[in-house]
Amino acid sequence: MTRTAFGALVGLTAMILVAQVLVIQGQTATGRILGTVRDSTGAVLPGATVSATSLETRAVRTVVTDVAGTYQILSIAAGDYAVEATLSGFQTATRSPVTVTVGAAAVANFDLS
């Protein structure tokens, strides 16, 4: 192998290693929580507030259900959460622990009464 070819090979290898490190650093350790909030008859409940509280850090993320009664909490750190659904006129419901894993969706559905 000539010196020029060896130098090119070393340079190419270094570039590949740097690119792999950048890709690994760009990956985030998040997932999402999603679900549907319904009443005791099975009707969807738009406008319900859904909060996810990290059992480790106590950080809270809150969203509101859409017209179909569904919600999504996106880009939430992996870990265990207590997820709570509330709506005026209904009893609050809680699911715990809801485990979020990297790149996956954890489902927490609620039936409020």
- Per-residue model confidence as pLDDT tens digits over 5-30: 555 555 555 556 555 554 555 567 99
CB 59 within 8 A of CB 36: no
Determine the average pLDDT of the residues in 88-111. 98
Domains of the chain: 30-112 (2.60.40.10)
Q: What confidence score (pLDDT) does residue 28 get?
A: 77
pLDDT tens per residue, range 48-94: 999 999 999 999 999 999 999 999 999 999 999 999 999 999 999 99
The span from the CA of 11 to the CA of 3, in Å, is 12
- Rounded to two decimals, the pTM is 0.77
Cβ count within 10 A of residue 1: 8
